[in-house]
Structure 1
Amino acid sequence: MNIPPLRIGNLVAPIPIIQGAMGVGVSLSSLASAVANEGGIGVISGVQIGFREDGFETNNDEANVRGLKKEIRRARELSPKGILGVNLLVAINNYKDMVKAAVEEKIDLIISGAGLPTELPMLVKNTSTKIAPIVSSGKAAALITKLWQRKFDYTPDMVIVEGPEAGGHLGFSMEDLESKTIPPLTEIVKEVIEALKPFKGGADIPVVAAGGIYTGKDIADYLKIGAAGVQMATRFVATHECDADPSYKEAYIDSEFEDIKLVKSPVGMPGRAIRNPFIKALEKDNIPINKCYNCLRPCNPADSPYCISTALINAVKGDLEKGLIFVGQNAYKLKEIVSVKELMQQLVEETNASLAY
């Protein structure tokens, strides 16, 4: 049995791998286009995407809209026929403007997490852009599907299920993550598939597994339980095409199992990151905020331990002493930097070998 394609309506990705979005600036047009050219789905992270734009410090919203359009256009130039998506957090303050900008640029797919994208169908109405919420439970999948069908007569084009081993912000409480009471991703995926079945067209919604997926065997395991594909982020950091500074990639390569820790984010959600000098300093005291970008809800600079935008921008630019490095649980397994082509070929070969059994 060969690896099956991922079908999202009229979009067909020959390889059922979505490259997970990583912000700030870790997955932009270079990485996304490379993945799309290899038959997967390349995804641009919209989080503070305008950090290199003029006026970013003074008009954050406009710079981000401008930056998003530039990256989508560049990705499309590099991958004219590939499937390209953007990930836009519901928690960003200019969410609607960013969605509209992506739609204007005719992006193929919008993925949204960090909250439930309750109004997203309205923002893509009468366009060809597909939309996919990120959920962490069957309950959340049923809630957003019921809401979209009732308000907009719209069924999600795809649902991404993110488990507890993912990098970045996680859709679970710190207490649940630390107590390890959360079911494994395989169980959550099955739960979501069952939760969608009662809805109109629910049995046909592709469900994609995300979080901690590392090998082709992992991919095959999720395909075997009914997932239509997987989303992987961490593996793609250790590629030549990844948009981050080389030292950022090396931090992944150099990390050990014990370096990867759960951290508290200023926006109220836990995250997973490398315990580097920045995290160690944060363990002793808050890091003063000199500039607030008013970028995320419900972040309040008056009582935030640090500015997450500044920390992520520092990291992607290579200032790791002052930067926050989000990682998936398996980042320590990475040993070398390869091309996207090499990585995709390896994953397909491993998946096909596992599907044969």
Structure 2
Amino acid sequence: MRKEQFSIGKKQLKVPIIQGGMGVGISLGGLAGAVAKEGGAGTISAAQIGFREPDFYENPVEANKRAIHKEMDKARKISPEGVIGFNLMVAMNDYETYAREVIAAGADFIVSGAGLPVDLPAYIKDSDIAIAPIVSTRKSAHVILKFWDKKYKKTADFIVIEGPMAGGHLGFHKEQLGELTPEIYAEEVKEIITVVRKYEEKYEKKIPVILAGGIYEHADYERAFTLGADGVQIATRFVTTEECDADERYKQAYIQAKKEDIVIVNSPVGMPGRAIRNVFLDKVKTEGRIPPTKCLRCIHTCNPAETPYCITEALIHAAKGEVDQALLFCGGRAYEAKTIETVKKVIDYFCKDCL
């Protein structure tokens, strides 16, 4: 099946693939730049992006702002003309500050989830950056698009549908995850697309729909288009690439994982998440709580006095390859990873018939 090219903002993608944002420190300028160089859209995760800055623990907001520019510059050196953007978590404190910093850094788009980005249009109104909410249900798509339309007279530039097989934070209740078969969720996808098409007509513009979650084999990629999607978002498959910004030990955790190691966890963000079972998760289960070493007040939904663990600490350990102390977020099919590939090889595998 040949795929039509579509644009994100003012730039046209050569291949209909967006690389999913993965934080902390898994998808930074290196991975995003490599994906953009091959014609896809590279996504840098802004979540605690400044964790390697020397003053991160003393002044995390300023450290994160500096790192946004550093990682964007790194990506642009790899792909000067490519499509490069950021993933922003709605649950982050200082969300508006980071949105404005991403714009100042020259990003082409913002993808935003872990909550509904209801006021994102207000933060980007003086720029031409493209914005896209991440949704998982018809209800969430309807709510966010209706809100943007009524309050800001604006609609999405594209939309990402994250299904139940996605990695990291999930837009479903824990009990739903066992009930949503591919066949059942396919109907939800079609309903979401119906909602999107309504706003396409109203605003007389194309709103590309990107399907995410469990896109691991070529058949998954093809199926997305048969459901009516315009493109796919892939994350897990890019973790085990040479260009991924994660530590080699993080990548090896994917390769060594078995199907039964992929579990659903309760995140301090207040949402279920998918991760690889390891020493850290077993310790949380046994001890009930691992108190934060130092609270950075990074997530507005987190209560540091009660949180089972500090998600920032756990994800920083992951990015540094300290896997026994880490939360190892992953997609539902991470256990299928067998080897380290290149970004080009992954893109070529999916896009055998791209224009």
TM-score (normalizing by structure 2): 0.95
Which of 239, 263, 266 is residue 264 of structure 1 equivalent to? 266
> What residue in structure 1 maps to residue 221 of structure 2?
219
Q: CA deviation at 1:179?
A: 4.7
- Which residue does the alignment assign to 2:108? 108
1:267 and 1:248 mapped to 2: Cα distance? 22
Matched to 2:310, the amino acid is C
2: CA distance between counterparts of 1:6 and 1:257? 35
CA–CA distance in structure 2, aligned partners of residues 220 and 202 of structure 1: 27
Cα distance in 1 between the residues matched to 2:350 and 2:182: 27
Check the 8 A contact 1:31/1:42 in 2, yes or no: yes
Within a 5 Å distance, the mapping from 1:135-150 to structure 2 comes to 135-150=135-150
CA RMSD of aligned residues (A): 1.7
Q: How does 1:227-266 map to 2 (within 5 A)?
A: 227-266=229-268
Matched, 1:176 2:176: yes
Q: Is structure 2 residue 351 aligned with structure 1 residue 345?
A: no
Identity of aligned residues (%): 49
- Distance in 1, matches of 2:313 and 2:209, equals 34
| Distance of 1:304 and 1:158 partners within structure 2 | 34
1:347 shift after superposition = 1.3
Whether the aligned pair in 1 keeps the contact of 2:211 and 2:229 (CA below 8 Å) is: yes
- What is the DSSP-based 3-state SS (H/G/I as helix, E as strand, rest coil) of the residue aligned with 1:141? helix
Are the structure 2 counterparts of residues 40 and 181 from structure 1 closer, same or farther at C-alpha, using a change threshold of 3 Å? closer
Name the counterpart of 1:6.
6
Instruction: Give how far 1:250 is off.
Output: 0.4
Cα 1:282/1:26, change in 2 over 3 Å: same
Match of 1:333?
Answer: 336
Aligned pairs for 1:23-172 within 5 A: 23-172=23-172
User: Tell me, what secondary structure is at the counterpart of 2:351?
Assistant: helix
Distance (Å, rounded) in 1 between the aligned partners of 2:237 and 2:189 = 21
Is 2:284 the partner of 1:282? yes
CA distance in 1 between partners of 2:301 and 2:107 (Å): 28
- One-letter amino acid matched to 1:296: I
In structure 2, distance between residues paired with 1:141 and 1:3? 24
Q: Distance in 1 between matches of 2:122 and 2:265?
A: 35
Q: Secondary structure at the match of 2:306?
A: coil
Quote the offset at 1:9 in angstroms.
4.3
Aligned to 2:314: 311
Structure 1: gaps of 5 or more residues: none
1:67 CA displacement: 1.0
> Partner of 1:198: helix, strand, or coil?
helix
Gaps of 5+ in 2: none
- Residue aligning to 1:300: 303
Quick check: 2:170–2:272 contact (8 Å CA) kept in 1?
yes
Could you report, residue by residue, the CA deviation over 1:136-190 in whole angstroms, capped at 9, with x for unpaired residues? 1111111111111111111100110011110101011112224557974422221
Q: Distance in 2 between matches of 1:194 and 1:137?
A: 12
1:190: which partner in 2? 190
Which whole-Å CA distance do the structure 2 matches of 1:9 and 1:305 have between them?
Answer: 40
Aligned length: 352
1:88 counterpart SS class: strand
Describe the SS at the equivalent of 1:272: strand
Q: What TM-score do you get using the length of structure 1 for normalisation?
A: 0.95
Change (3 A) 1:256 1:181: closer
Counterparts of 1:52 and 1:149 in 2: how far apart (Å)? 39
SS at match of 1:110: strand
Cα 1:289/1:97, change in 2 over 3 Å: same
Distance 1:234 1:184 in 2: 23
Q: For the residues of structure 2 that align with 1:235 and 1:141, how far apart are their CA atoms?
A: 26
